[in-house]
Chains A and B, each alone.
Chain A
Amino acid sequence: MRAAMRILICLMVCPTCAFLVGCGGSSSSSSPSPTNPIAPSATNVATISVSGGPLGNYPDAAFASVTLCVPGTSTCQTIDNVLVDTGSWGLRILSSPVLTLALPQQQAPDGNPVAECLTFVGSYTWGPVQTADVQIAGEKASSVPIQVLSDTDFPAPSGCTSSGFPSADTLDTLFANGILGVGLLAQDCGNPCLASYDQYFECPSSGCQPIDQALGQQVTNPVALFATDNNGVIVELPAVSSAGAPSVNGSLVFGIGTQSNNALGSAVVYTPDDFLNFTTSYNGQSYPDSFIDSGSDAYFILDSGLTGLANCPTNSDEAGFYCSSQNFSVTNQGSNGTSGVVNFSIANAATLFGNSDNFAFDNLGGYSSTSAPYYFDWGLPFFFGQNVFVAIAGASPPTGVPPGPYWAY
């Protein structure tokens, strides 16, 4: 009865939505009606889900399925539970037993195998660069350099471990089968790696050494290599109730302004600065190191002193999150001068996690620091109930569509 009502409401609100994606995908009985349109299945639309991840311990992380093929062949493997990350660029997949396909190893000009080290905040990924044809929904990219995550194919050189961080090259440390980096850039290093920057290495048996890596050889955002719909993505997730939901389905739409289902419409464009940040203002103070990132699993904002929120105990399952509730009204401003008010809430993480079935929350928060530098990290909670566009720098948009990089919502 209740389910039937929900579908009815759903169809009334969004008659063109395939309710499997737009509404029925949420299994929360108190899920509100979606206010944002979720694109139904299409060539340029992949289904994404927020459901706790492969280990069932990962809140507010969106996952997609990606198909990899040996280049030019129909020898393929589909890998699920790949994290959709608008905060990085390029495809990274765990090595065996997750990746069982034998992909060609990228070689340096002297024939040595190439490996990559990418430093994230708090961890790094390391492993060989291999080449695959990548298919997501109906979109295909040929001969994409990807990173295969492995601590054992080659030992990580000191230039990779100088962050002191642990590696995230196994399921137990990555909490996903891979990372699909669909953020603001095409290559994951760009021009700096034309002169070795401790990111790309060649690995003869004597040990890995930094190398210069041409743009075309760098691990690349697969979207930028699609034949069409290659200038960015839209992350579309429905609204969830304030108690959260066990599982929510949405869409990852490829292209901006390239099809009838991906028009920018009335979304406001916010361009980032050189460090891919924009400014969030709160309580009379500006925080210019702020950014939008679907790969962050909460609103990571300021600290308890500046927000008035209580930190969860450091030895609890909620460590790193906030354990009290508050409403916020802040202003985001892009480098292009556009600005807009964002109203959002943060709830007590211990209460949210108290229902151990729930993994999709639009109000999960944590601290970005406990001392300067402070900033707002607009993580996945920001994406529920509003479609967020992420436009790739250097891509060629259709006439009338602004060139990236930018976020729009």
Chain B
Amino acid sequence: MSRLGGAAAALVILAAAFPAWASLGGDSASIQADQLQMQGTRTTKAAESYTVHEIQAATGTVVREYVSQEGKVFGVAWRGPWLPDLRQLFGGYFEQYQAAVQSQGGGRVARRPVMIDQAGLVVRIGGHVRGFVGRAYVPEMLPSGVRAEDIQ
């Protein structure tokens, strides 16, 4: 019925083809699922110890996925008018992220950006409606020589 309906059907087929469903922490095959889910186009750039897969989503949001030489996604970043589907993008890390983001708050109201610093997961989400910026990475998966600042 809608374009999303068609994408959902394609996802079901892909889910069968790629058992590694997760993006963050998953293998590079999972990026293809992300690309389809976002109805996006993908370009790839190689750095010394990793590869950046950049997906230009149909929403106008640009998502970058950082893949190690072992083929694992160790970081993701985005910028654009719509927040990407973080359940899709964070994969197996989504539940950990969600538990952390839902427990932020207390005291005086502070409409502040999302900042999660856990041993196994770092997340930043900021900006505003129609202009989101953010990134997430798994610290222990960063290839040697790669700084957290490189993921953006």
B126-152 CB contact bits vs A (8 Å, 1 = yes)?
111111111100000000000011001
Q: Are B83 and A275 in contact (CB under 8 A)?
A: no
Other-chain contact of A320, B98, B112, B125 (Cβ < 8 Å): B112
A293 CB-CB contact with B under 8 Å: yes
Interface centre among A53, A212, A373 (most CB of B within 10 A): A373
Q: How large is the interface on B (under 10, 10 to 19, 20 to 34, 35 or more residues)?
A: 35 or more
- A195–B2 CB distance below 8 A: yes
- Contact status B108-A57, CB under 8 Å: yes
Q: Which of B60, B81, B83, B128 contacts A163 (CB 8 A)?
A: B83
Q: How far is the CB of B21 from chain A (nearest CB, A)?
A: 14
Decide yes or no whether B69 CB sits under 8 A from chain A.
Answer: no
B130 and A61 contacting across the interface, CB-CB below 8 Å: no
Interface string of A331-357 (1 = CB under 8 A from B): 000000000000000000000010000
In the bound complex, do residue A162 and residue B59 qualify as a contact, i.e. CB atoms below 8 Å apart? Answer: no
Whether the Cβ atoms of B59 and A373 lie closer than 8 Å is no
Residue in A198, A353, A368 whose CB lies within 8 Å of B126 = A368
A145 touches B (CB below 8 Å): no
A-side interface size class: 35 or more
Inside 8 A of A88's CB, which chain B residues have their CB?
A: 128-129
**Provided the pairs A122-B101, A122-B104 are in contact, do residues A185 and B130 lie with their beta carbons within 8 angstroms?**
yes
Interface readout for A188-213 with B: 1 if CB under 8 Å, 0 if not? 10001001111000000000011110
Q: Which residues of B contact A293 (CB under 8 A)?
A: 128
Closest to B85 in A: A162
Q: A277 contacts which chain B residues (CB < 8 A)? A: 127, 131
Q: How far is the CA of A275 from the CA of B81 in the complex (A)?
A: 6
Are A196 and B113 closer than 8 Å at their CB atoms? no
Contacts of B87 in A (CB 8 A): 158, 161-162, 164
**Among A158, A319, A370, A377, which residue has its beta carbon within 8 angstroms of that of B128?**
A377
**1/0 per position for A355-384, CB-CB distance to B under 8 A?**
000000000001111111101010100000
Q: A319-B107, A373-B134 are in contact. Are A300 and B3 (CB under 8 A)?
A: no
Tell me the smallest distance from the CB of B97 to a CB of chain A, in Å.
6
Q: A377: which B residues are within 8 A, CB to CB?
A: 126, 128
Bound CA–CA A211/B68 (angstroms)? 38
Q: Is A59's beta carbon under 8 Å from chain B?
A: yes
Report the 4 A-B pairs with minimum CB-CB distance, sorted nearest first: A317-B107, A320-B110, A275-B131, A164-B98
28 residue pairs from A and B, CB less than 8 Å apart:
A53-B109, A59-B108, A88-B129, A119-B83, A119-B129, A121-B114, A121-B129, A122-B113, A162-B85, A162-B86, A163-B83, A164-B97, A192-B59, A192-B82, A198-B4, A210-B2, A210-B4, A211-B2, A274-B60, A277-B127, A289-B127, A293-B128, A297-B109, A317-B108, A319-B106, A320-B110, A372-B135, A372-B149
With A275-B131, A297-B111 known, 10 other A-B pairs at CB within 8 A are: A119-B82, A119-B83, A121-B111, A198-B85, A210-B4, A319-B106, A320-B112, A372-B152, A373-B127, A377-B128
